[in-house]
Structure formats: C-alpha cells, structure tokens
C-alpha cells in the first residue's frame, strides 16, 4: 500500500489515514482526528448514532473499516455548517426541537439528509418514519424528529441542496 493512497477527505480536507486496517472509521474519526460529534451507540450496526456521509450518502461509521474510505469523502456533523451557518437540516432540528439529550442527533441529521436526497422536499411523515428504521432515539420520541426532517428537506430544496425532482423520484 503506497502511503499516498491512505488518505481520506474529511470535511473537505485530505487527512492521512495510515492506521492499522482493522481500525473502524468511527474510532479513527473520534480518537484519531478528535471529531467526537460522530457517536458510538449500539456498536452493532443498528442505532445509527455513528452515521456519517460517505461520498454524500449516509453510512454507519461503526461498520466501515478505515481503508474502505481511502480515496473517498467523509462528512461528519462537524463538517456540515458553511461559513458559520448551520446546515439547513441542522437548523431544522434546532427549530423543531428535534432533540433532547442530543446523543442520537448527529446520526439523525445525517439520516435526514439522506431522506431529503432520496425523497425530495415534500416527503411525507409516513415515509420519514419508515426511513428512520436505522436510527434509534431513546428520549425525545420521534414526533419532533420527523417534523424536523420534513422541514429540513424543504429548507435543503430552497438552498439548492437537493437534486432535480426526477432523480429524487427514481431513488428509493
């Protein structure tokens, strides 16, 4: 393995990632880079607290080895804000009070971005609930989270962050 290949673009910045290959992506983000916004919840691929964006698509950082991200782009919750302004999905969670203790929130925001990308700005509450099957919240309940994701999806569209409707319709 050439050293130059062991690199991951994290939140827009190329980072050296020449760690032992059995290192989990979530462990490297948290312990190697100090990006502790990505949480470890169940650690068994079920709760979604560790969701990050891998090349723009939500994935579980507890179920990825660092080498699987070599040469790819990873976005963590720390990398969503632009120029000091929250990402529209983050802002929607704040506005709708879509969190209580906040532990699941980074993963929920990532899942919400994925839902918006797949289903567009007019996603129904029922679809959001179904699409959250990979995320667990143990305190707020889902009511406000669902409201936040629907508002966030609309705000992402207004900000020009969603693909044209045709593409969103084709995605599942």
Partner 1 sequence: MQPFELVRPTSAAEAAAAFRGDAAYLAGGHTLIPAMKAGLRAVERLIDLGTVPGLDGIGLADGRLWIGAMARHAAVAASPVVRQAIPGLARLAGGIGDPQVRARGTLGGSVANNDPAADYPAAVLALDAVIETDRGVHAAEDFFQGMFATALAEGEIITRVGFRLAEAFAYAKFPHPASRYALAGVAVARLPDGVRVAVTGATLGVVRWPEAEAAIATGAPLPRALDHPDLASDLHAGADYRAHLAGVMLARAARAIASGA
Binding residues vs partner 1 (CB under 8 A)? 1, 20-22, 24, 43-46, 48, 51, 54, 57-60, 62-65, 67-68, 111, 114-115, 118, 131, 133-135, 170-172
In terms of Cα–Cα distance, which of 48, 27, 45 is closest to 36?
27
CB of 169 to partner 1, least distance (A): 10
The residue among 43 and 158 lying less far from partner 1, judged by its C-beta, is: 43
Task: Enter the tokens of residue 157.
Answer: 């569209």
In the complex, minimum distance from the CB of residue 77 to partner 1, in angstroms, rounded to a whole number:
15
Q: How far is the CB of 85 from partner 1 (least distance, A)?
A: 26
The closest alpha carbon to 58, from 71, 81, 77, 36, belongs to: 77
64 vs 109, beta carbon nearer partner 1: 64
Nearest in space to 122 (alpha carbons), one of 85, 151, 148, 97:
151
- Taking each helix axis from N to C end, the angle separating 88-95 and 105-119, rounded to the nearest 10 degrees, works out to 120
Whose Cβ is closer to partner 1: residue 24's or residue 155's? Answer: 24
């Amino acid at each position: 393995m050439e050293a130059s290949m062991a690199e991951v673009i994290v939140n827009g910045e190329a980072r050296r990632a020449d760690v032992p290959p059995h290192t989990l992506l979530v462990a490297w983000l948290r312990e190697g880079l100090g990006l502790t916004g990505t949480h470890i919840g169940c650690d068994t691929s079920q709760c979604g607290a560790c969701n990050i964006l891998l090349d723009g698509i939500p994935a579980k950082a507890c179920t990825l080895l660092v080498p699987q991200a070599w040469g790819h782009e990873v976005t963590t919750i720390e990398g969503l804000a632009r120029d000091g302004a929250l990402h529209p999905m983050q802002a929607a969670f704040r506005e709708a009070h879509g969190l209580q203790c906040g532990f699941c929130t980074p993963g929920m925001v990532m899942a919400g971005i994925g839902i918006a990308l797949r289903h567009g700005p007019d996603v129904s509450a029922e679809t959001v609930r179904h699409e959250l099957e990979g995320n667990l919240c143990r305190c707020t309940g889902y009511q406000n989270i669902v409201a936040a994701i629907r508002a966030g999806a609309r705000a992402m569209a207004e900000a020009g962050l969603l693909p044209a409707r045709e593409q969103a319709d084709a995605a599942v």
